[in-house]
Amino acid sequence: MNPGAPVLQLAGIRKSFGPNQVLRGIDLTVHEHEVVAVIGASGSGKSTLMRAINLLERVDDGQIFLSGQDISDPRVKEDLVRAQIGVVFQHYNLFPHMTVLNNVTLASRVVRKLSREEAEARGMELLTRIGIAEKAKKYPDQLSGGQQQRVAIVRAILSDPILLLLDEITSALDPQLVGEVLDLVMELKLAGKTILMATHEMEFARRAADRVIFLHEGRIAEDGPPAQVLGNPQQQVTRDFLSRLYNFS
């Protein structure tokens, strides 16, 4: 690991599914404590980008550096890389056969080999902080969508990942539950976490992100501070995307 290196660096990432070119050369750097929001229409490659960084999807070309280490190198141990990256999915993906507390502590116990007491103490601490400590022994389907998503976030951050990937984490939630999840993300930002998030919540991107990236047809069409990308876009495609979005909402 190289302490001076950016947390995440993408160089020329390409990915196709059959004839469909989803990512056509992505270059991106995310520094420590930075929150970067990725916006773009459905099918612009946001989720594929997230999955590629987490090595759930193998890239066709280009390199991915995590703290300076090339994790796209096939000799790298995928499990060790993934343990350093926290991921939160659109549909929470909690394990339905485990209690909330077991969901949250699983990685600490199995991957980092902490004792159960140690892992559970830390798990309870975080569950208490997000106000659902009393649900620790419940199963995921006994929680609301917003609560499940917050548990998923806690599960992702419990093992202190150096990078947090949030993949449209509010898209599957009822509108009145979105707020509680975004508040938690805001807290993580204030705690200094490094976050890369794909989102449709423009207002939230404006408030929380240090940088906004507009992804269009597999390329980064615009990259800059939220005020610029969302308020005064330099590119025609970004303007089109935003005007379509605001006309609908």
Partner 1 sequence: MFNEREHERFISPIELQRREYRRMKTVRSVLISCASFLVFSFLIWWILSRSEGWELVRKMYFDPKHLVASAPQVFKGILVNLKILGAALVGTAVLSTLLAITRTTKSAALFPLRLVSLLYTSIFRGLPMIVVLYLIGFGIPGLNIFGRIDKNLIGGICITLVYSAYVAEVLRAGIEAIHPSQRAAARSLGLSHTQTLRIVILPQAIRKVVPALMNDFVAMQKDVGLVSVVGAVDAVRQAGIYTAKTFNYSSYVFAGLMFICMSLPFVLLTDWYAAKVRRREQMEGAV
Q: Is 66 in the site for partner 1 (CB under 8 A)?
A: no
Q: Which is nearer to partner 1, 24 or 91 (CB)?
A: 91
Residue 2: φ, ψ to 5°: -115, 110
Task: Show contacts with partner 1 in window 209-228 (CB under 8 A).
Answer: none
Q: Which is nearer to partner 1, 30 or 85 (CB)?
A: 85
Nearest CA-CA partner of 86 in 169, 3, 148, 179: 169
Q: Is 93 in the site for partner 1 (CB under 8 A)?
A: yes
Amino acid at site 234: Q
Q: Is 54 in the site for partner 1 (CB under 8 A)?
A: yes
Q: Is 47 in the site for partner 1 (CB under 8 A)?
A: no
Q: Which is nearer to partner 1, 9 or 159 (CB)?
A: 159
d(CA 235, CA 216): 11
Residue 74: φ, ψ to 5°: -65, -15
How many CA atoms lie less than 13 Å away from 157 in the CB half-sphere? 22
Among 14, 31, 82, 219, binds partner 1 (CB under 8 A): 82
Cβ 29 to partner 1 shortest distance, Å: 22
Candidates 3-11, 103-111, 204-212, 235-243 — which segment interacts with partner 1 by CB under 8 A?
103-111
Cβ 56 to partner 1 shortest distance, Å: 5
Pairing of strands 211-216, 163-167: unpaired
Candidates 10-18, 81-89, 116-124, 232-240 — which segment interacts with partner 1 by CB under 8 A?
81-89
Q: Tell me, what DSSP letter sits at residue 229?
A: I
Among 73, 111, 192, 227, binds partner 1 (CB under 8 A): 111
Q: Measure Cα distances from 108 to 117, 138, 156, 186, 194 in Å.
A: 11, 19, 10, 24, 20
Q: Is 174 in the site for partner 1 (CB under 8 A)?
A: no
Give 114's contacts (C-beta < 8 A, 6+ positions apart). Answer: 108, 122
Where on the chain is the footprint of partner 1 (CB under 8 A)? 51, 54, 56, 78-80, 82-87, 89, 91, 93-97, 106-107, 110-111, 141, 155-156, 159
